[in-house]
Amino acid sequence: MNKIIKGDRVVVIAGKDKGRQGQVLRVLGDKVVVEGVNVARRHQKSNPMRGIEGGIIIKNMPLAISNVAIVNPETNKADRVGVRLVESDGKMKRVRFFKSNGSIIGV
């Protein structure tokens, strides 16, 4: 189970965008794409067959997953994530939890 998944609210803890928060749009192996963070301007050639207009586009670029930490909504600070087994309906289920206060994420 990944500790950071799509839809999580994260804060950047290292790099040029340190301190900025955003929502995870995609997880690409050991990299994540965060909304509004690590933005680059790219020149794009037009392609009338596909209906793509040319010009300068703004694009969210991937960050290393080690440079982001999940935000704890109770404290509004970066927090570490752990995984534990919880019994639910007679089955064991893996859930993520915050290391600082032990509350379960996404339930």
- The domain that contains 71 carries what CATH number? 2.30.30.30
How many residues are given for the chain? 107
Q: For 60-107, what is each residue's pLDDT tens digit?
A: 999 999 999 999 999 999 999 999 999 888 899 999 999 998 889 876
What CA–CA distance (Å, rounded) separates 28 from 91? 30
Residue 106 domain-assigned?
no
What CA–CA distance (Å, rounded) separates 104 from 55? 45
Phi, psi of 23, deg, nearest 5 = -100, 140
Q: Give the count of domains, the chain.
A: 1
Residue 4 domain-assigned?
no
Q: Which domain holds residue 55?
A: 9-98
pTM, to two decimals: 0.82
Residue 80 domain-assigned?
yes
